[in-house]
Structure 1
Amino acid sequence: MVNLYEIHYYSEKNKYPVFEFISSQSPKEQAKILREIDLLSEFGLSLGMPHIKKIQGIDALWELRIKHSSNIFRIFYFHFVEGKFVLLHAIRKTTTKTPKKELSIAVKRRNHYLKGSE
């Protein structure tokens, strides 16, 4: 497998929220989530549905869509520069619509990243 795209985990104060979220899941769920991240690094935005989807109404925010058994996960990310994706926030989805609170966390982290703050 050739990875054409770089995957970066958003960090703030030496914490990596998406990595920590993945680590807190069961081993099988971790494997499924990491496989989807590998697909993103291999195919980028051409991966398409059902794997990725643009978040409507929020500029430049995408979701990586992961389903394992009856569990649904979302990782929110953005395409920073050519060939680089930044994973901002991850959730276990429990409702039909993604809670606005979760999207606002992703937007806040994206803005923080773009300002170059650490």
Structure 2
Amino acid sequence: MAVIVIFDEELNRVKFLIEDGRDVINEFIGGLEKKEAEKVIRVINLLDGLGFKRLILTEMCAGVVGYDNLWYLRAKYRSNIYRVFFFKYFIDDHEIYILVHGIVKKTRRTPPGAISLADRRKKKIIAELEG
């Protein structure tokens, strides 16, 4: 099931979906070094604080070409680039952002497997929310 994506200062973690008993975004963030994790969390908080309409105007957010309603947040630390995939969803006229996958980008192109995994998770969550 999905949860609104907000960084919880008290718990020092991102609230997120649990998939098959795994908290995939917090596992991703937990696998990063402290400074890397801080950069990723900062961009997530910007999405929550500024909102999509303002963040999409920056280099920190973009759409995944060829996919409907699949976006990514971009964070950079030193020479590493991080992608956190998300989609937008409306509940009771409130736009929420649901994070579905995170990667450290190793090559110039985003791996197709990472994109398809994010898209599958998005579709699964939407089906659960609407089912």
Q: TM-score, normalising length from structure 2?
A: 0.80
Q: Do structure 1's residue 23 and structure 2's residue 59 form an aligned pair?
A: no
For residues 30 and 104 of structure 1, the distance between their equivalents in structure 2, rounded to whole angstroms, comes to 24
Match of residue 11 from structure 1: 18
Give runs of ≥4 in structure 1 deviating > 6 Å. none
In the alignment, which of 28, 36, 40 is matched to residue 43 of structure 2? Answer: 36
| 1:97-118 deviation line (CA, Å, top 9, x unaligned) | 111111000011001101118x
Asked if structure 2 preserves the Cα contact closer than 8 Å seen for 1:10 and 1:16, the reply is yes
Instruction: Give structure 2 stretches of 5+ with no counterpart.
Output: 6-14
For residues 42 and 82 of structure 2, the distance between their equivalents in structure 1, rounded to whole angstroms, comes to 13
Secondary structure at 1:35's aligned position in 2? Answer: helix
Match of residue 61 from structure 1: 70
What is the Cα-based RMSD across aligned positions, in Å?
Answer: 1.4
Q: CA deviation at 1:10?
A: 2.7
Q: CA deviation at 1:73?
A: 0.3
Q: CA deviation at 1:70?
A: 0.8
Secondary structure at 1:89's aligned position in 2? Answer: strand
Instruction: Give structure 1 stretches of 5+ with no counterpart.
Output: 1-5
Asked if structure 2 preserves the Cα contact closer than 8 Å seen for 1:10 and 1:109, the reply is no
Query: Number of residue pairs matched?
Result: 112
Secondary structure at 1:116's aligned position in 2? Answer: helix
Match of residue 103 from structure 2: 91
Which has the bigger relative contact order, CA under 8 A and spacing at least 6? 1
The residue type equivalent to 1:87 in the other structure is: L
The residue type equivalent to 1:79 in the other structure is: K
